[in-house]
């Protein structure tokens, strides 16, 4: 059986943050990093928009401002962001405040989907040069923490200390690992909403602020705004029973290499928290996803704002360039009526937020604007941690989005460093 001092599962920012920290503090430790894909599949690979202002990405139950800022300095050293310029923020903030809404001012950078891939390649090469063994295209299947080894689809690997950082994609995998490790966890929060797509001239704020973070009443917010060469995409999910559903998402390519397509997209999400008897955000999300798939013949739904306002479903001819003025960037989507698929309580507050947004940035509710549904973010599993370093057993640590310790690239990296500090202690003789 192969053996390493440190095994890291997931080569996203959480795994990388941990690997760099351990190589810096204990260069002679043997380290293996595993990923089921050749390149990590989270935010670094998709759009790679990075936020450098607390609390964006940092769940406040795990991070104080001082703590986050301290780690952020180290994250900044590795990610070397070019912070984007912002303008006219005061005007938008004033308009928002009058409506009881907030616009957060965040330090941001944007590499784009192509730029993110270059960053990943650079960081992997650096880790390789530092002596980290990379096993890309290898999937972890199970763990035995009593005998201290994991099983992958290729081999058994022993460890002194183990970090699981499987991201949002590994949400279900992480739940299985927590169950097998006997670690209690909660999964009772989920974000549900729509992705809005419109012409740049109907949402010109993006020229002043790349990813404006608006907070509306009733836990509704804008999230992940993309412009330049911006596209809406769909992500496939499979339930435990093997049924397929889709969530939409958005990304853009780097402004340096791609010509703008004149479109902007962003999500408007409501956070929903459950208590009893339903305590699984994932179960709820899956049911909503399946409901949307049922309405859309297996595809997500899309509806023009003009149709929505009239209470009519959108039809194929709502997506011509005659009546309305731009074709959807996500073609494989079903014209329909999102109000038949979305719970009224969620739709009501999201529509209210969109009306507020239209007052702050007039034009976004142009009849041609498209709402895609569903956009669902599984919040994360919330395991019971044993210490400040996200340790769940004597030698197993969890980091990143899948484990609820972050909600963005920079915080995921920071959470990896925090785990690494704990892992270094486990390795102390
Ligand atoms: C499509 C998409 C776009 C996003 N865009 C942004 C963005 O622009 N900015 C931002 O701040 N955040 C973004 N996010 C959120 C972002 O992914 C995260 O905050 C960040 O990447 C989380 O880092 P992570 O290391 O926890 O997980 P990830 O980056 O998701 O990495 C986890 C890795 O673990 C691997 N893995 C999972 N299970 C296994 C297994 N069993 N065996 C082996 N490997 C496994 C996965 O293949 C994956 O590469 C996005 C997320 C998604 C899904």
CATH number for position 25: 3.50.50.60
Total-model pTM: 0.90
* Alpha helix ranges (H) inside 31-188: 65-79, 89-98, 112-129, 171-181
Q: Alpha-carbon distance 404 to 398, whole Å?
A: 9
Residue 237: CB within 6 Å of ligand 1? no
Residue 47 has φ and ψ, to the nearest 5°, of: 80, -40
Q: Alpha-carbon distance 283 to 280, whole Å?
A: 5
Distance 359 CA to ligand 1 centre (A): 34
Residue 409: CB within 6 Å of ligand 1? yes
Distance 165 CA to ligand 1 centre (A): 9
In a domain, 356, yes or no: yes
Asked if residue 395 and residue 369 are part of one domain, the reply reads no
pLDDT-based confidence at 241, cuts 50/70/90? confident
Do residues 41 and 428 make contact, with C-beta atoms less than 8 angstroms apart? no
User: CA of 264: how far to CAs of 139, 200, 241, in Å?
Assistant: 36, 6, 36
Percentage of the chain exceeding pLDDT 70: 99
What angle separates helix 409-427 from helix 65-79, to the nearest 10 degrees? 100
* Predicted confidence (pLDDT) at residue 240 exceeds the cutoff of 80: no
pLDDT-based confidence at 324, cuts 50/70/90? confident
Residue 48: CB within 6 Å of ligand 1? yes
Asked if residue 206 and residue 327 are part of one domain, the reply reads yes
Q: Alpha-carbon distance 215 to 217, whole Å?
A: 7
Residue 248: CB within 6 Å of ligand 1? no
| Number of structural domains in the chain | 2
Token pair for 335: 């014209």
In a domain, 239, yes or no: yes
Distance 306 CA to ligand 1 centre (A): 35
Task: Give the per-residue pLDDT at 46.
Answer: 86
Asked if residue 304 and residue 179 are part of one domain, the reply reads no
In a domain, 127, yes or no: yes
Distance 325 CA to ligand 1 centre (A): 35
* Predicted confidence (pLDDT) at residue 140 exceeds the cutoff of 90: yes
Q: What angle do CA 259, 263, 266 make, to 5 degrees?
A: 120
In a domain, 181, yes or no: yes
Distance 168 CA to ligand 1 centre (A): 6
What's the chain's Rg over C-alpha atoms? 22
In this predicted model, which residue has the larger pLDDT, 282 or 68?
Answer: 68
Task: Give the per-residue pLDDT at 375.
Answer: 97
Distance 10 CA to ligand 1 centre (A): 8
pLDDT-based confidence at 237, cuts 50/70/90? confident
Residue 169: CB within 6 Å of ligand 1? yes
Q: Alpha-carbon distance 73 to 290, whole Å?
A: 42
* Predicted confidence (pLDDT) at residue 232 exceeds the cutoff of 80: yes
Percentage of the chain exceeding pLDDT 90: 83
User: Measured between alpha carbons, how far apart are the two ends of the chain, in Å?
Assistant: 23
Average pLDDT over residues 126-136: 98
Residue 125 has φ and ψ, to the nearest 5°, of: -65, -40
**In this structure, is the dihedral angle defined by the CA atoms of residues 147, 151, 155 and 158, taken in order, positive or negative?**
negative
User: CA of 426: how far to CAs of 5, 133, 236, 359, 416, in Å?
Assistant: 10, 20, 38, 54, 15
Asked if residue 357 and residue 249 are part of one domain, the reply reads yes
Residue 249: CB within 6 Å of ligand 1? yes
Atom 3, ligand 1: residue with shortest CA distance: 43
Q: Average pLDDT, whole number, for the chain? A: 94
pLDDT-based confidence at 89, cuts 50/70/90? very high
Q: Alpha-carbon distance 14 to 412, whole Å?
A: 5
Residue 35: partners with Cβ closer than 8 Å, 6 or more residues away: 9, 10, 11, 15, 135, 136, 137, 138
Going by the DSSP 8-state scheme, the letter that residue 318 receives in this structure is G
Residues in the chain: 429
In a domain, 95, yes or no: no
Asked if residue 329 and residue 270 are part of one domain, the reply reads yes
| pLDDT tens digits for range 369-380 | 999 999 998 767
Asked if residue 366 and residue 307 are part of one domain, the reply reads yes
C-alpha torsion angle, residues 378, 80, 212, 346 (rounded to 10)? 0
Residue 375: CB within 6 Å of ligand 1? no
Asked if residue 67 and residue 212 are part of one domain, the reply reads no
Asked if residue 238 and residue 214 are part of one domain, the reply reads yes
Asked if residue 399 and residue 296 are part of one domain, the reply reads no
Asked if residue 207 and residue 162 are part of one domain, the reply reads no
Asked if residue 372 and residue 386 are part of one domain, the reply reads no
pLDDT-based confidence at 321, cuts 50/70/90? low
Asked if residue 211 and residue 180 are part of one domain, the reply reads no
Q: Is 267 helix (H, G, I), strand (E, B) or coil?
A: strand
Task: Domain of residue 318: give its range.
Answer: 189-377
């Amino acid at each position: 059986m192969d053996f390493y001092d440190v095994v890291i599962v997931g080569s996203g920012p959480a795994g990388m943050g941990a690997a760099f920290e351990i190589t810096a503090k204990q260069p002679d430790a043997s380290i293996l990093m595993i990923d089921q894909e050749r390149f990590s599949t989270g935010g670094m690979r998709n759009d790679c928009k990075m936020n450098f202002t607390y609390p964006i990405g940092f769940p406040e139950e795990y991070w104080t401002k001082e703590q986050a800022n301290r780690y952020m300095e180290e994250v900044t050293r590795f990610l070397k962001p070019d912070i984007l310029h912002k303008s006219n923020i005061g005007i938008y903030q004033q308009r928002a405040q009058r409506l009881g809404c907030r616009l957060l001012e965040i330090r941001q950078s944007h590499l784009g989907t192509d730029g993110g891939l270059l960053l990943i390649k650079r960081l992997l090469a650096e880790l390789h040069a530092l002596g980290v063994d990379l096993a890309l295209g290898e999937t972890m299947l199970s763990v035995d923490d009593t005998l201290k080894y994991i099983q992958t689809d290729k081999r058994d690997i022993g460890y002194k200390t183990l970090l699981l950082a499987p991201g949002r994609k590994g949400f279900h995998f992480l739940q299985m690992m927590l169950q097998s490790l006997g670690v209690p966890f909660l999964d009772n929060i989920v974000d549900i909403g729509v992705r809005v797509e419109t012409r740049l001239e109907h949402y010109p704020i993006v020229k002043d602020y790349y990813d404006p973070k608006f907070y509306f009443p009733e836990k509704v917010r804008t999230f992940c705004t993309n412009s330049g060469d911006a596209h809406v995409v769909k992500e496939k999910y499979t339930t435990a029973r093997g049924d397929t559903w889709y969530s939409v998402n958005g990304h853009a390519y780097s402004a340096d290499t791609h010509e703008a397509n004149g479109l902007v997209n962003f999500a408007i999400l409501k956070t929903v928290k459950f208590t009893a008897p339903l305590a699984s955000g994932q179960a709820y999300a899956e049911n909503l996803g399946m409901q949307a798939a049922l309405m859309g013949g297996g595809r997500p739904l899309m509806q023009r704002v003009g149709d929505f306002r009239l209470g009519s479903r959108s039809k194929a001819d709502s997506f011509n360039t005659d009546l309305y003025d731009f074709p959807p960037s996500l073609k494989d989507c079903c014209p329909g009526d999102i109000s038949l698929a979305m719970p009224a309580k969620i739709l009501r507050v999201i529509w209210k937020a969109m009306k507020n947004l239209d007052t702050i940035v007039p034009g976004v509710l142009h009849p041609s604007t498209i709402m895609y549904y569903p956009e669902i973010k599984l919040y994360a599993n919330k395991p019971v941690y044993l210490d400040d370093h996200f340790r769940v057993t004597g030698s197993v640590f969890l980091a990143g989005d899948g484990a609820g310790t972050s909600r963005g690239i920079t915080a995921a990296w920071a959470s990896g460093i925090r785990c690494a500090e704990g892992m270094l202690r486990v390795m102390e003789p």
